[in-house]
Amino acid sequence: MSPGKKRLRNYRNRRDFSRSPEPRGHDSEDAGWRNEGNPIFVVQQHAASTMHFDFRLEVDGALASWAVPKGPSTDPRDRRLAVRTEDHPLDYADFEGSIPEDEYGGGSVIVWDAGPYRQVKEGDEDLSPVADALRDGHVTVWLEGRKIRGGYALIHARTGGDESNWLLVKMDDEGADARRNPVSTEPESVLSGRTIDQIAERSTRDTNE
């Protein structure tokens, strides 16, 4: 299925692409930057009005997205709030830079982690396609990132009665490690090696020049 104009409508309606450096995205999935092998996941650190991490999964030619205030944990005991946000275009997975402060999502973005993922079974349920599993409110994925690895469950918990509230929970497997805290100990972008503060400084410098 191509993401089509409808799927990215919310994404585009919220942004002024003459002012924001974010990608407009393609309407056809074969115009995307990646078309082979496993789908990808990406975690982008985003210094918007509140610092958060955007967790995104490639699903049917676009990026299903959640804003995770505390970022992903490697400790299976943590249940991290993940607020569902609008689908993003596939080429957003490479986006790193600074959105002008007075624009939607204003602030700097880095690609904190990325890699392929695959869906995994939990229990003895049959696997349904990721898009269907998301509609049903529960999907488990195996991530092959540089910083985070192994199984993660996304659960539509509707915490506090809010439809947009999901939970992101690390599964107890070889990627689990309660002593690690990569969100704070490994702050560099996996694309550029820069921290979010360095991206923000560069943008301030460019503006002042």
**Selected range binding Mn ion among 48-56, 75-83, 94-102, 111-119, rule: CB under 5 A:** 48-56
- Residue 22 interacts with Mn ion (CB under 5 A)? no
Query: For Mn ion, which residue of 22, 29, 54, 58 counts as binding (CB under 5 A)?
Result: 54
**Selected range binding Mn ion among 24-32, 35-43, 49-57, 196-204, rule: CB under 5 A:** 49-57
Q: How far is the CB of 108 from Mn ion (least distance, A)?
A: 11
Tokens of 172: 């107890």
Would you say 148 and 48 are in contact if contact means Cβ atoms under 8 Å apart?
no
- Residue 88 interacts with Mn ion (CB under 5 A)? no
Tokens of 126: 């049959």
Query: Cα separations (Å) of 82 from 24, 113, 125, 149?
Result: 24, 16, 24, 18
Would you say 52 and 68 are in contact if contact means Cβ atoms under 8 Å apart?
yes
Query: For Mn ion, which residue of 7, 26, 46, 80 counts as binding (CB under 5 A)?
Result: 46
Q: How far is the CB of 162 from Mn ion (least distance, A)?
A: 17
How far from each other are the two terminal CA atoms of the chain, in whole angstroms? 45
Residues making contact with Mn ion (CB under 5 A): 46, 54
